[in-house]
A and B are shown apart, each in its own frame.
Chain A
Amino acid sequence: SQQGEEDPQALSIQEGENATMNCSYKTSINNLQWYRQNSGRGLVHLILIRSNEREKHSGRLRVTLDTSKKSSSLLITASRAADTASYFCATDASNTGTASKLTFGTGTRLQVTL
Chain B
Amino acid sequence: DAGVIQSPRHEVTEMGQEVTLRCKPISGHDYLFWYRQTMMRGLELLIYFNNNVPIDDSGMPEDRFSAKMPNASFSTLKIQPSEPRDSAVYFCASSSESGRVTYNEQFFGPGTRLTVL
Hey, which bits of chain A sit against chain B, CB under 8 A?
2, 31, 33, 35, 40-45, 48, 50, 88, 90, 92, 97-107
Q: Does B91 lie within 8 Å of A103, measured CB to CB?
A: no
Hey, which bits of chain B sit against chain A, CB under 8 A?
4, 30-31, 33, 42-43, 45, 48, 50, 56, 91, 93, 95-97, 100-111
- Inter-chain CA distance A107–B43, complex, in Å, is 9
Q: Does B43 lie within 8 Å of A99, measured CB to CB?
A: no
| Inter-chain contact total with CB atoms closer than 8 Å | 60
Q: Does B100 lie within 8 Å of A97, measured CB to CB?
A: yes
B102 to chain A, nearest CB (A): 5
- Inter-chain CA distance A2–B4, complex, in Å, is 25
The chain B residue with its CB closest to the CB of A30 is B103
Task: Tell me which residues across on chain A come within 8 A of B105, comparing CB atoms.
Answer: 33, 45, 48
- A2-B42, A42-B4, A42-B110 as given contacts; A100 in contact with B91, CB under 8 Å: no
Q: List 21 A-B contacts (CB under 8 A).
A: A2-B42, A33-B105, A35-B108, A40-B111, A42-B4, A42-B93, A45-B106, A50-B103, A88-B43, A90-B106, A92-B104, A98-B97, A99-B31, A99-B50, A99-B95, A101-B45, A102-B104, A103-B45, A104-B45, A105-B42, A107-B43
